[in-house]
Structure 1
């Protein structure tokens, strides 16, 4: 492995004296004597882009990562020239640029250092490929911590780690293994309770050293392209993540069934096996919304085909599965079998859609069908063609979702596991080699898939799943963390990967529950389901090599536990749906690491296990065999044990009992948690009442419930229901105010409020300032009442 020190000895070049400065509205340009140009673009008061050119020339400004809907606009921009430096002030931060060497220092308005260059920008000519290896080194502040970076299988705090981004088929990867399936070059820094973020928008292989080689230096570099990074100021981690998510985008709301439980395996076939599996779910009354068909449904692994012996009438099967509440999701890979009689192959050949090597021949690689060629998804014509290929599968046969796998792209029987670096790509009119396009290849494939799915599923919402991705891929699809292993270590890995992905702007994420490779025992499977139902995407998937991995595969005790937790997920669907709404509306991660939840508490900075599911449910998986509980850290505040209703004071580690049928689960005091009745699948029954669990707090707490038709696009026209609740509790009374928005009328007419922890016996009930009779609200002891969904105020008291 090449060290930073070795890199520094290789003839690095550095900027020297600034000789020219000019300003063009929100862009500032600093030019040095040796031809370096630094472009600083102030996008918002707290978001600034830094872009460096050498030899006086910028590359064309193009990125797949940046959302079309990014927010721009700032309140203040002032530039002053002083003897040693230029000082730039926005409404939130100051940026100092040294005249002698172009080094940058960023502070808050009180001149507290947030981030500063060590060597800053420097570069080395790439003699092997041309262009530059571009580098940036920053000072590591004392006690600084680092988070984010996507699907890394490492501790949530990356301090002391060295990682790289090169989308890789990493079958049965291990803890700290590098690289993995995704390239998300974004991290959050935290020091002295000030958070910032850096997004290095460069699609070449990128490297990050978080004070690994030298404890006072954090650096990042790329094998080519530009030094182009965005800086986000907090000071809260939530503001940093929100700004990054705004920059790279959010998905549409998924159909609610996509948030249900999904069952998959490599592979369910023939049709009878698929029907046996789905029938078993209904027989055992284990809720499930989707069944997956892996590559064996195809004819000889040819994408967009069906094996007519295994699946003689796909449309009939898909229709019958849908009548029983199952959505069908099919696998599509990028490798197209070389076969002149195969229509997809011939279309791509006729139109010149396959990737070529540097000297002209098509790139070939072996995947499941054997020798394949690969479409160039960075070509907009190819994406449009690929989107159109889904017509028969989606519009005619009726498949509900598509799963893009192997799209790093994965290539078998070659040391690199992927395409040759000299493969050529269009890159949307910016021709380049695979060195630049590799990390965005899977992203552009799933973008094309999404566009096809959206066209052919309309007016329903599409569901797309990807394995590979780059920053911004979250705009198009859900993702999962690839081919993990059925081990307790991988249960830990799955937990940290979900937290890290959510902090990296990509919330619609899950793992292969139970492990893809090898076989879990019943205890591990149960513990993994207990964790997986609290991940935004919830799917069991396995290789099938070592036995069955369905909910009923491990005996009656485990089956009952699995059913119990899947039912809990279905009860919590309105809460989960609201989490998704807040993610796309506010950029709020659906899962929150403890450091995200409370960065002021230094005890949270190195926690890996505990996380917030949404904003009000605290989850901590049991990650060791034969455990009857565990020690966990409870964040500051008061929390209700979900199982016992005991109220615990946070801010310390506590022992929490959790036998095989429990997971440590706590509800924030003051929370109002919406629930639906248990359904075997989304839409099985009409929701006739919304249940809301109300957890008493001596103080104020707000909660939200978002609802719509659960599919379709009417919600974009205002046909949604948004309930904002404000709870105020005192020892002798409790008030709840409801503020409503949206024109959607839910099917239910009443809300059942179920109270937890009331410190008083209810003596009076007022609704909208009128005292009501107990019978009219069906007061049940001291626990629950039923009221109109349209109430604006409720007051219960001991008086």
Structure 2
């Protein structure tokens, strides 16, 4: 019997403009704890304030299903929905939040590896509004009806609304106050990553990295897929192919390269295997309804699965990670953690399985309750284990499965894509959607995971992929080699130029991550963030913003970016490059009124020095003014939380045809490094004037 459709009961929470809605007072009491909120109590505690919601959802409860409808003005554009394939503008789409091993997904796939029951709405006047259905359950997000958001999920769950605020950026910042911001990444993790399933021996790994160095192609990280293990047993090493991982890691470190190693949740069920034995002794496995451990097949054969909903399991896993890191491991890759299970029609474990969750996250529940947060809880455990192993280093974890809020623990990538032009195009809106759903540290498998890239496709994809927040090339077993030099000299040169461009921009990218960590803003943002009132910007997918830096790419094999007509937001946008213009590289513009900090063309992050020359590229606005910011710290560790950093605000202004550039103010306790400062003033039409050395003074 369906309850009548009616307005939901509401209470103000968190901060001005944020409201919690429930189907009824009884539904509010019945709702499970929040796993998305960084501080779940803030969803439960009403705040003081006299503001009232501008939009009140309607709700209908039919059986155990709660349906929520939010109607917005005509001309509203929808975004968000997390890791979703298909177009950037989500009107007309439907997504089901159910973490799924989605190898070879397409633009119409409705469930991928992560769940973000979140919609960002940009209203006709440019203001923005956010809606979170705070449920871990399978949730339908239906945007097929114009200007209407519909959520449908079992059990009582709250709706949290944000805004309307004056801009999409303000909504994202408010969301971050609820779900947290991205963990500050170590600077090396913002370099280029090279991966393959699999580099099958220590010798092969070192050969690949040395080839990067010999060819002058930047790279900071190499990855170990499942074949480094002894028979796919997690926390082990194949004694023939990786006999001394610590020695290999030392060799990599000596040439400025880090290593990241995979850990899956499927633990081989085998007597004598220390992980299985200790897990059984600690009673950490997910159970079936009859209280026996669930057994499912993954890479090692019959496997059991840690129940990360329990604190004792997370502590057990973290201690294994802590010991594992002592082998020279710099980062960890959590894969297959939807969780994926082979030889099942659902690709995962039965929903009737039992998790013995901690009371503060929902208590004992079946798998359907915890499925969507399994990957996030695994990533959290991995992150905590890495943090325990070395308190002077920031953990780096990459997770395939996740939930809204996963950015607190891990980066992500867009899963098992294909080596074709459609997937290259799709990678842009996917990265942008993740950023619009609270996860700024993401990127695709550059070149495509499955299948064989062509030289043109690989070079073009590297051109844009080198400017994504997370930049990694990855390919599957059985495909041709997908290293930058594997496609001939021309493609190799494109990749070299693309990655040198990334490394020159690292001071700016690292600053954007600091600002994202502090304030919750996306690192890569859609073009409409420059002017949310311009409806013509709302569907553009091949251009994106890195702060004031505009990247215009081409995903057409017939045309390079320089041959395409690019819609620019209003105002001054000055085109520039580093003398590296190439048909397969994106075109770059700097917004008028911005100052862009740029470093040297280094080959890995460790090669840089604080005394290196710093360049400031200045693009004046209509009034002859510009401003910019640069964040600098040790690149790792937590000194930045204790004032051990330097945040510099620069300003530029033209007076009587003379441009002065000054330090407006600084934050942090670091002394300014002694170095040359090169200033370039963009003149328009791609021209610039360069001043070799300048000395700045505080205003």
> Which bin holds the TM-score, normalised by the shorter protein?
over 0.9
Judging changes above 3 Å, is the alpha-carbon distance between structure 1 residues 56 and 246 closer, same or farther for their aligned structure 2 residues?
A: closer
- For 2:438 and 2:250, the matched residues in 1 are separated by 36
SS at match of 1:397: coil
Q: Is the 2:192–2:221 contact (alpha carbons within 8 Å) kept by the matching residues of 1? A: yes
SS at match of 1:507: coil
Pairing 1:250-261 to 2, within 5 Å after superposition: 250-261=181-192
Aligned to 2:11: 40
- For 2:582 and 2:684, the matched residues in 1 are separated by 28
Q: Is the 2:620–2:626 contact (alpha carbons within 8 Å) kept by the matching residues of 1? A: no
Deviation at 1:69, TM superposition (A): 9.7
Cα-to-partner distance string for 1:401-449 (whole Å, 9 max, x where unaligned): 0000000001111000011000111232211111110000000000000
Deviation at 1:791, TM superposition (A): 1.9
Q: Is it true that 1:451 corresponds to 2:423 in the alignment? A: no
Aligned to 1:66: 37
* Unaligned ranges ≥5, structure 1: 1-10, 19-36, 79-89, 96-105, 107-114, 126-131, 646-656, 762-780, 794-799
* Mean CA deviation greater in 198-207 or 750-759: 750-759
Q: Is the 2:528–2:537 contact (alpha carbons within 8 Å) kept by the matching residues of 1? A: yes
Aligned to 2:565: 631
- For 1:216 and 1:284, the matched residues in 2 are separated by 52
Aligned to 2:698: 792
- For 1:318 and 1:343, the matched residues in 2 are separated by 24
Deviation at 1:61, TM superposition (A): 4.9
Aligned to 1:364: 295
- For 1:380 and 1:230, the matched residues in 2 are separated by 31
* Mean CA deviation greater in 520-529 or 661-670: 661-670
Residue 355 of structure 2, aligned match among 425, 428, 434 = 425
Aligned to 2:201: 270
Aligned to 1:342: 273
- For 1:216 and 1:479, the matched residues in 2 are separated by 30
SS at match of 1:315: helix
Aligned to 1:703: 628
Deviation at 1:718, TM superposition (A): 0.1
Deviation at 1:280, TM superposition (A): 0.6
Q: Is it true that 1:13 corresponds to 2:25 in the alignment? A: no
- For 2:136 and 2:47, the matched residues in 1 are separated by 32
Aligned to 1:729: 654
Aligned to 1:3: none
SS at match of 2:384: helix
- For 1:417 and 1:782, the matched residues in 2 are separated by 58
Judging changes above 3 Å, is the alpha-carbon distance between structure 1 residues 139 and 384 closer, same or farther for their aligned structure 2 residues?
A: same
Judging changes above 3 Å, is the alpha-carbon distance between structure 1 residues 186 and 283 closer, same or farther for their aligned structure 2 residues?
A: same
Judging changes above 3 Å, is the alpha-carbon distance between structure 1 residues 336 and 782 closer, same or farther for their aligned structure 2 residues?
A: closer
Which of the pair has more CA radius of gyration?
A: 1
Deviation at 1:281, TM superposition (A): 0.6
- For 1:225 and 1:368, the matched residues in 2 are separated by 37
- For 2:551 and 2:587, the matched residues in 1 are separated by 6
SS at match of 1:40: strand
Cα-to-partner distance string for 1:569-606 (whole Å, 9 max, x where unaligned): 11111000000011011211101112222111111122
- For 1:746 and 1:401, the matched residues in 2 are separated by 31
Q: Is it true that 1:164 corresponds to 2:96 in the alignment? A: yes
* Mean CA deviation greater in 722-731 or 586-595: 722-731
TM-score under structure 2 length normalisation:
0.94
Deviation at 1:145, TM superposition (A): 1.3
Residue 294 of structure 1, aligned match among 217, 225, 228 = 225
Judging changes above 3 Å, is the alpha-carbon distance between structure 1 residues 138 and 380 closer, same or farther for their aligned structure 2 residues?
A: same
Cα-to-partner distance string for 1:354-391 (whole Å, 9 max, x where unaligned): 00012222111111111101000011110011000012
- For 1:506 and 1:286, the matched residues in 2 are separated by 28
Aligned to 1:741: 667
* Mean CA deviation greater in 56-65 or 444-453: 56-65
Judging changes above 3 Å, is the alpha-carbon distance between structure 1 residues 244 and 55 closer, same or farther for their aligned structure 2 residues?
A: closer
Aligned to 2:397: 464
- For 1:76 and 1:636, the matched residues in 2 are separated by 40
Cα-to-partner distance string for 1:76-112 (whole Å, 9 max, x where unaligned): 734xxxxxxxxxxx1xxx33xxxxxxxxxx2xxxxxx
* Mean CA deviation greater in 147-156 or 722-731: 722-731
Cα-to-partner distance string for 1:533-590 (whole Å, 9 max, x where unaligned): 1111100011032210001000001101100110111111100000001101121110
- For 2:244 and 2:91, the matched residues in 1 are separated by 55
Aligned to 1:712: 637
Give the number of the structure whose residues are more often strand, by fraction. Answer: 1
Judging changes above 3 Å, is the alpha-carbon distance between structure 1 residues 298 and 225 closer, same or farther for their aligned structure 2 residues?
A: farther
Cα-to-partner distance string for 1:224-277 (whole Å, 9 max, x where unaligned): 342443443313111111111221001332111000011000000111111111
Aligned to 2:690: 783
SS at match of 1:121: strand
- For 1:548 and 1:730, the matched residues in 2 are separated by 55
Q: Is it true that 1:677 corresponds to 2:600 in the alignment? A: yes
TM-score under structure 1 length normalisation:
0.83
Aligned length: 688
- For 1:580 and 1:296, the matched residues in 2 are separated by 33
* Unaligned ranges ≥5, structure 2: none
Judging changes above 3 Å, is the alpha-carbon distance between structure 1 residues 225 and 338 closer, same or farther for their aligned structure 2 residues?
A: farther
Aligned to 1:383: 314
Cα-to-partner distance string for 1:270-320 (whole Å, 9 max, x where unaligned): 111111111111110111100000000000000000000001111111111
Aligned to 1:8: none
Cα-to-partner distance string for 1:450-500 (whole Å, 9 max, x where unaligned): 000111132111111001100110000111010000110001110001111
* Mean CA deviation greater in 660-669 or 310-319: 660-669
Deviation at 1:54, TM superposition (A): 7.0
What is the aligned-residue RMSD (CA, Å)? 2.4
SS at match of 1:665: strand
